[in-house]
Amino acid sequence: MLSLTGISKSFGGLPVLQDVSLAINAGEVHALMGENGAGKSTLMKVVAGLHAPDGGAMRLKDAPYAPASPHAALLAGVAMIHQELMPIPDMTVGENILLGAEPCGPLGLVDRAAVRARARALLAELDCDLSPDVPMRTLSVGQTQVVEIAKALGREADVLLMDEPTAALSDHEASALFRAVARLRAKGVAVVYTTHKMDEVFRLADRITVLRDGRHVITAKAGELDQERLIAHMVGRPMSEIFPPRGKVSPEVVLEVSRLSREGRFKDVSFQIRKGEVLGLAGLMGAGRTEVASAVAGLEPAEAGEMRLHGRPFRPRDPGEAITAGVAMVTEDRKGQGIVPALPIRENITLSALGTLCNAGVIDHAAEAEAARSGMRDFSVRATGPEQPVGQLSGGNQQKVLLARALLNRPEVVVLDEPTRGIDVGAKAEIYALIRRLTDDGRAVLLVSSELPEVIALSHRLLVLRQGKVAAELDAATATQEEVLRHAMPL
């Protein structure tokens, strides 16, 4: 269907893709794997007409293919779904699906009935019963993803490129996406996609291609690889140990939460976390994990129930109060609620702790610089220096900056919401080691993660939430993924 020969691409003299050759078949799901910076996204953008390659050639359906723009690629039958979705929130699902291809009447007026019918047909092809009339803004990320696929389907794409389609999806939502992809495959569409989630590749992909440092490493049938060998290809060395062993827990209870509730979000959630302990919050998207974490950190205060920190009542009304009391959170929404991209690393790290670095409101620049330097060192932030704007860093390094910020106040409780979302394997391993170090320092960690292997391996105990309520409390040392999922699934 699509063949690439010797594709090369450099940005500002820096080679990002070097001599990559690849053939994609009709009716296959082809996973592109590799660490961040391996060139996956760039390769996709070359195919989608966003970047012109510096060298090499492409053929689509046995004809030369050199799209000058995403629009030209679309006309040739290649559609791309970007990592950051771009829906128009105040238009309806139907309008979004047919955006730019609205069926029109004789006067150029949009034929609304036709829009609705066509959108419904496309969604039905994906086994999705979403109404075309609901506004886009009311959809979950997963549903938005499906709508984007329907949009590509509406353009009669032969090749569909998806960059990290499941990064923001829960397992449950991902399953719906996989069903849609399976439908596409059955229709003969070639689906190329990238992901950081290991277990999912083996569920979905027919073939896997690994890129490393802009070069093609291997293309193999999914059945011929296993997780360990795949990682070895990606990082260029075997990774014998991704997860550090669990640390020792002290009997001292740091945070005690009882019957915490917030209307429509979660109800009667109770738990304790001890010194040096990692409590994992598992559950499907929408089960209330982030909401519980946000309540503990004061982002969205609970309406009922009580919390005690070291036995003293703890009821933060905003994040500032929680931080002062010794509870810091690293958000799942790194771009939205985490980094201030235009500010340098130094200012991002010290943002929460400026109070301790000030005399009468005046920032002590020497103390601030030292705090930033040691934060960057402790969390091995890779950057040109403390003055580099955080927006320029990779996701993994941004995450480390946020961890450094949260830890600068020396909190007793650290709330980590999806700490490894969208970052590469190498950076994940570093974050895991950091979590272990936190607990060795005697901090209590509340960990929210959608990646089951991760949350099971890092936690001491697991709290499984289901529809806002605690469904089970499990010993993480003996818990299995199946067991967690069984408790997490709605009855």
Partner 1 sequence: MNLRLDRSLLHRFGILLVLLAVGLGLSLATESFLTVSNLTNVARQVSINGILAVGVTFVLLTGGVDLSLGSVVALSGVVCATFAHPAADGHPLFLPIAAGLLTGAACGLLNGGLVTKGKVAPFIVTLGMMTVARGLALIVSGGRPVADMSERLTALAGDVGGVPIPLLFFVTVAVAAWIFLRRFRLGRHVYAVGGNEQAARAAGISVARVKLFVYVLCGLMAGLAGVVLAARITTGQPNAGVAYELDAIAAVVIGGTSLSGGIGSVAGTVLGVILIGVINNGLDLMSVSSYYQQVVKGVIIVGAVWLDRRQARG
Cβ distance to partner 1 smaller for residue 173 or 418? 418
| 10 lies in the binding site for partner 1 (CB under 8 A) | no
Joined tokens for residue 373: 């330097």
Cβ proximity of 154 and 95 under 8 Å: no
| 42 lies in the binding site for partner 1 (CB under 8 A) | no
Joined tokens for residue 100: 């730019």
Among 139, 174, 190, 299, binds partner 1 (CB under 8 A): 299
Q: Among 243, 276, 320, 298, which Cα is nearest to 461's?
A: 276
DSSP-assigned beta bridge partners for residue 194:
32, 163
Q: Which stretch binds partner 1 (CB under 8 A): 45-53, 127-135, 277-285, 346-354?
A: 346-354
| 331 lies in the binding site for partner 1 (CB under 8 A) | yes
Q: Which stretch binds partner 1 (CB under 8 A): 123-131, 145-153, 303-311, 349-357?
A: 349-357
Cβ distance to partner 1 smaller for residue 352 or 459? 352
| 352 lies in the binding site for partner 1 (CB under 8 A) | yes
Q: Least Å distance between CB 99 and partner 1?
A: 25
| 361 lies in the binding site for partner 1 (CB under 8 A) | yes
Cβ distance to partner 1 smaller for residue 7 or 295? 295
Which ranges of 192-253 does DSSP label H, i.e. alpha helix?
Answer: 198-204, 227-235
DSSP element (H, E) containing 4: strand 2-11
| 104 lies in the binding site for partner 1 (CB under 8 A) | no
Q: Least Å distance between CB 454 and partner 1?
A: 23
User: Which amino acid is located at 369 in the chain?
Assistant: A
Joined tokens for residue 170: 């829960």
| 336 lies in the binding site for partner 1 (CB under 8 A) | yes
Cβ proximity of 91 and 112 under 8 Å: no
| 367 lies in the binding site for partner 1 (CB under 8 A) | no
Q: Among 463, 451, 454, which Cα is nearest to 171's?
A: 451
| 52 lies in the binding site for partner 1 (CB under 8 A) | no
Q: Which stretch binds partner 1 (CB under 8 A): 68-76, 302-310, 359-367, 424-432?
A: 359-367
| 478 lies in the binding site for partner 1 (CB under 8 A) | no
Q: Among 182, 180, 160, which Cα is nearest to 77's?
A: 160
Residue 291 burial (10 A CB sphere; 0-12, 13-18, 19+): buried
Q: Which stretch binds partner 1 (CB under 8 A): 87-95, 182-190, 317-325, 426-434?
A: 317-325
Distance CA 351, CA 195 (A): 32
Among 101, 320, 377, 473, binds partner 1 (CB under 8 A): 320
Q: Among 83, 280, 287, which Cα is nearest to 166's?
A: 83
Cβ distance to partner 1 smaller for residue 96 or 397? 397
Q: Which stretch binds partner 1 (CB under 8 A): 25-33, 87-95, 187-195, 341-349?
A: 341-349
| 347 lies in the binding site for partner 1 (CB under 8 A) | yes
Helices (H) and strands (E) in the chain, counts: 16, 22
User: Residue 442 phi/psi, 5° resolution?
Assistant: 90, 15
Joined tokens for residue 134: 């609901």
Cβ distance to partner 1 smaller for residue 56 or 391? 391
- In sequence order, the 6+-apart residues with CB closer than 8 A to the CB of 48 are 67, 70, 73, 78, 79, 80, 161
Q: Which stretch binds partner 1 (CB under 8 A): 86-94, 158-166, 182-190, 316-324?
A: 316-324
Question: Which residues form the interface with partner 1 (CB under 8 A)?
Answer: 299, 318-320, 322-324, 329, 331, 333, 336-343, 347, 351-352, 354-355, 358, 361-363, 365, 384, 387-389, 392, 405
